Structure 1
Amino acid sequence: MVEAVRTQGLFKRFGQQIAVGGVDLIVPKGSFAGLVGPNGAGKTTTLSMVTGLLRPDGGLIEINGHNVWSDPVSVKAHIGVLPEGLRLFERLSGRELLLYNGQLRGIPLDEVGRRADELLRIMDLVESQDKLVVDYSTGMRKKIGLAAALLHNPDVLFLDEPFEGVDPVSANTLVEVLRRYTASGSTVIFSSHVMDLVERLCDWVSVMNRGHIVAQGPLDEVRRDRTLNEAFLELVGARGNGEEGLTWLGSTTA
């Protein structure tokens, strides 16, 4: 198996809180991989360290065999990132944002324009290309953010909750683009806590809980004869908290 992403002993502490406690993450090249876990499991912190946005306190990170922190320029030239809490240059139009990103990446202006035209068309943003990003809806912002992340044709694409707050039509567009991207041999890694979505899209899954990887591998191996949601609940030790207490809830008694 050729690995697109590998971490070993990845560790991050915030004060007394251990956010990521020795993560060994593996993602095969060419896979559509899901990083799943409950809120607070450490998914965003892990992706932030893997993509060079947050310095780890310990551990090794490699993308396509290159160390992220000893060779950051080379690595960042070959990855695309759509982070959580997407921040964009909001006073640019959608098209200006793509042209600006392409020039930052050193792509010739004519080529940037050609790629921007194609991405705007595929993302169904042609009619909004001259509108300021500040006036974009959540779905439109996710689509223009993904377009910017794809503009330089990265080998590996990292997405943190890319479908959160996105309407079904925009989500379908994102899925079609990402499937086309992985079909070419590139790699997608996206975090989510929506198991049905991961089960529908991914061929590889890593399950995080309390700062650790508790299971990872091909989707069918992780879920076995269960749904991914059932496997997930078992792996993270979910307990029912709604069976006791709240006896007053729903009561018609004054």
Structure 2
Amino acid sequence: MAKIALQDISKAFNNKIVLNQVTLTINGGEVYCILGRNGAGKSTLINIACDIIPADEGLVKYEDGQLQGVTLRRLTGIQSQFETLIEELNAYDYLQFAGKIYGMTKAEIATQIKVLTDYFFEDDKDLSKPIKSYSTGMRKKVMLCAAFLHKPKYMFLDEPFANIDPIAANALCKLVNAYRNENRCIIISSHDLLYVNKIATHIGVIEGGKLAYNGNIDKFRTGAGLDEDMLSYVQPKSNESFLLDQIISEL
């Protein structure tokens, strides 16, 4: 069964501690959404979990350590916060390239490209043009197509709702929920709490390098809204009220 276990993960950049002894487990059939302020370490945690960057301390285990190397990478789908596209290629060529890396057959690649582009794009007439001519939203959709291309067992989505329209965002929610129903592991970082509320089974709130909350979303919800729920774990600046008064007084 799909399972990711992160044990005592720590990471620092330029002597600044970003993650401090973070431990969590995601099982198949769960959508784990990581919340927190900008720079809290959400992307860092995802990048460590999918082996893009190493942890300074701690371990990441897939299925109790039974999956490693090429086998693991072919079971992993990643949509990074930063673009990983080849701008000179068009969407079809880029997705074919990605499919070959994942070891897919030509027939599998062709089928998946067709269904995914049909799913995320209203009109495919521009997909034959170089990616460098695409809008920000189109680029993001191509990255999402690449992440889902090989039907990965483990999915990592870093700010997947940023820069896409509400229609595409809701379509993505439906796809994530369909993946969850197939007992896949999905880890997402996002500030878009409207969509998080539609897909999350579990929530992690990073504050001060640690998990201020780690558990089921039903226990996280208070009925006040996810934004208020999160704020109960993320403390505002101690002088926030003073600064607000100063800003207003200058108007």
Q: Is the TM value for this pair above 0.5?
A: yes
- Shift in CA distance, 230/113, structure 1 to aligned 2, threshold 3 Å: same
1:74 is matched with 71
Write the distance in 1 (CA, Å) between the matches of 2:30 and 2:125.
33
Per the alignment, residue 90 of structure 1 pairs with 87
Identity %: 28
Q: What does residue 103 of structure 2 align with?
A: 106
Residue 244 of structure 1 is matched in structure 2 by 245
Distance 1:179 1:131 in 2: 31
| Gap runs ≥5 in structure 1 | none
Task: Look up the SS of the partner of 2:211 in the other structure.
Answer: strand
**Displacement of 1:3 after TM fit?**
6.4
Q: How does 1:16-165 map to 2 (within 5 A)?
A: 16-66=15-65, 71-124=68-121, 126-165=124-163
Are the structure 2 counterparts of residues 163 and 247 from structure 1 closer, same or farther at C-alpha, using a change threshold of 3 Å? closer
Q: 1:231 to 1:127 in 2, by over 3 A?
A: same
In structure 1, what is the Cα distance between the partners aligned to 2:224 and 2:247?
31
More helix, by proportion: 2
Cα 1:243/1:77, change in 2 over 3 Å: same
Deviates more, 1:29-38 or 1:128-137: 128-137
Residues 194-250 of structure 1: per-residue CA shift (max 9 Å, x gap): 333322321211111121111111101122454222221111122444543224332
| 1:65 alignment partner, SS class | helix
Letter in 2 for 1:171: A
- Stretch deviating more after TM superposition (89-98 or 177-186): 177-186
Count, aligned residues? 247
TM-score, normalising length: structure 2 = 0.90
Rounded to whole Å, the distance in 1 between the matches of 2:233 and 2:66 is 30
> Is the Cα contact below 8 Å between 1:143 and 1:174 reproduced in 2?
no
So what's the TM-score if we normalise by structure 1? 0.89
User: 1:67/1:235 Cα in 2 relative to 1: closer, same or farther (>3 Å)?
Assistant: farther
CA distance in 2, matches of 1:129, 1:225: 43
Give the letter aligned to residue 42 of structure 1. G
Whether contact under 8 Å (2:34, 2:190) holds in the other structure is yes
For structure 2, which runs of at least 5 residues remain unmatched after alignment? none
